[in-house]
Structure 1
Amino acid sequence: MANKSLSNIIVLISGSGSNLQSIIDNADDIGVNIQSVISNKADAFGLQRAKNAGISTKVIEHMHFASRKDFDHALIRYINTLNPEIVVLAGFMRILSADFIAAFSTNTSKILNIHPALLPEYKGLNTHQRAIDAGDSEAGASVHFVTNELDSGEVILQKSVVIDPSDNADTLAKKVLKQEHILYPEAIKKVLQK
């Protein structure tokens, strides 16, 4: 049986890149070629993870641009040179403009994001503390398509964890992050198989 050709993806990061690492580690199973890892921060540890795996990296620092739109257009220009099937946001701490979303939410490309909550609950920040404060029995993570409305695109997959009485925001975040590392590769694979 012939091997299916790999799907090209790019990954945008801002920090440590632990979800990036799980995608790198599972790339063969997912069936992807990570063309480039792009960061808006030059000191993001995820860039080193990419280099260790022999993946091309690019730094486009948002602080060097006069506006969000200018930054996003620089991102668009670079990503268009690669023509990926999926733009993967893995801890990319920037809200993307409508122009960026329109450029890569097409019939031939998609933008995915991972969010540390069971959407549609707890969009935005401080998700773990909000779940604890609400007295929820479980929390989790969601991978969703990116739209113009924050954390509101169609959910692709979710994984949940039990909130123990002893949990605080930090312990809950660690439990959820372990599930994120399983969830994101599965969600990317699911999207590519559609």
Structure 2
Amino acid sequence: MPDKARVAVLVSGTGTNMAALLYASRLPGAAYEIVLVASNDLAAGALALAEAEGVATFALSHKGMKRAEHDAAMDAAAREAKADYIALAGYMRVLGPAFVADWQGRMLNIHPSLLPRYPGLDTHARAIAAGDGHGGASVHLVTDDLDMGEVLGRAEVAIAPGDTAETLAERVKFAEHQLYPRVLADYVSRPFDPDWLVAQVRERAMALPHAEETLSHGMPCFGIEKGKKFAWVSMDHHGDGKTALLAKIDGADEQAQLIENDPERYYRPAYFGDGWIGIRLDLGDTDWQSIEDWLSRSWRAVAPKKLTGLMDAADQF
């Protein structure tokens, strides 16, 4: 089992979603742990709860500070806690572009609407005014475009006759407290999930010209239509416990050099010989641009010249 992901939670208020994340993190088999609760409000109720639960806290008022300076302090606190991810849970500050860029793909937020409907404020009143049958909550990745990052999960809540924004908000809170821990756990588990890892390889492999997917020796296999294979994905093959990309290389010397430089990531795949390298995908830090480059290189190693020529021509534009 991989180590639990380390999560810093940023809050500004009472911290009910923080509490939901925290208590879910203490259930058996939890995929993450809360290592820090940080706030821009020294009086935030979430801080007192976190302290009572033995969770490290950090508080710094944003008043009188430039946004970039306050962001930098929050960033430093999260990094000092060795956080892998940030979860925003009622953090009422718009984060600057530098902070968002530094945590791209590793920062989540929960929003009280069924995104992409009703980004911003007054979501429940807007849903009621529009005559919607349901309100709800969404968990999304944080981007510079407010509330418009990739939606990772939603929970619908029926709008009952006579509902007000306040009564609907109370019920949506129940949905938020169930949704956020599940989505966060699923998201931080992605880098170790064989099915998700295969899907990432598939997306990149099948984008190459004339690529096709088959099953070979029990492994997803990618080749050129009616031609040679250029990649496999090994999933616990022969009980080795690894999820890895198998790609073409130049030979034994390169294979040995890669393994010597990074023996945790690279290995000699059994039964494939000196012309192939195993590249671990399940270490939690896969560089997907590097995997895309490996796939392209491996494809070129087996593709006929007429195909590589066409690809070279396309690359010129």
> Fold match, TM over 0.5?
yes
Match of residue 57 from structure 2: 57
Match of residue 97 from structure 1: 96
RCO comparison, higher one (Cα < 8 Å, 6+):
1
Rounded Cα–Cα distance in structure 2 between residues aligned with 1:13 and 1:82: 16
Deviation of 1:4 after TM superposition, in Å, equals 4.0
- Structure 1: any 5+ residue segments left out of the alignment? none
Match of residue 129 from structure 1: 125
How many residues were matched structurally? Answer: 188
Match of residue 34 from structure 1: 34
- Paired AA for residue 178 in structure 1: F
Aligned sequence identity (%): 38
Q: Which has the larger radius of gyration?
A: 2
Give the secondary structure class of the aligned counterpart of 1:143: strand
Rounded Cα–Cα distance in structure 2 between residues aligned with 1:193 and 1:103: 20
Deviation of 1:31 after TM superposition, in Å, equals 2.2
Give the secondary structure class of the aligned counterpart of 1:63: coil
1:72-106, Cα deviation, whole Å (9 max, x unpaired): 12212222222312100000001100010011115
Rounded Cα–Cα distance in structure 1 between residues aligned with 2:7 and 2:111: 19
Give the secondary structure class of the aligned counterpart of 2:36: strand
Rounded Cα–Cα distance in structure 1 between residues aligned with 2:69 and 2:83: 21
Rounded Cα–Cα distance in structure 1 between residues aligned with 2:177 and 2:43: 22
Give the secondary structure class of the aligned counterpart of 1:49: helix
Rounded Cα–Cα distance in structure 2 between residues aligned with 1:172 and 1:5: 38
Runs of 4+ in 1 over 3 A off after TM superposition: none
Decide which of 116, 120, 126 is 1:120's aligned counterpart: 116
On the 8 A contact 2:22/2:33 being kept in 1, the answer is no
Match of residue 174 from structure 2: 178
Rounded Cα–Cα distance in structure 1 between residues aligned with 2:75 and 2:108: 16
Match of residue 10 from structure 1: 8
- Structure 2: any 5+ residue segments left out of the alignment? 191-317
Give the secondary structure class of the aligned counterpart of 1:8: strand
- Paired AA for residue 59 in structure 1: A
- Paired AA for residue 154 in structure 2: Q
On the 8 A contact 2:114/2:138 being kept in 1, the answer is yes
Match of residue 69 from structure 2: 70
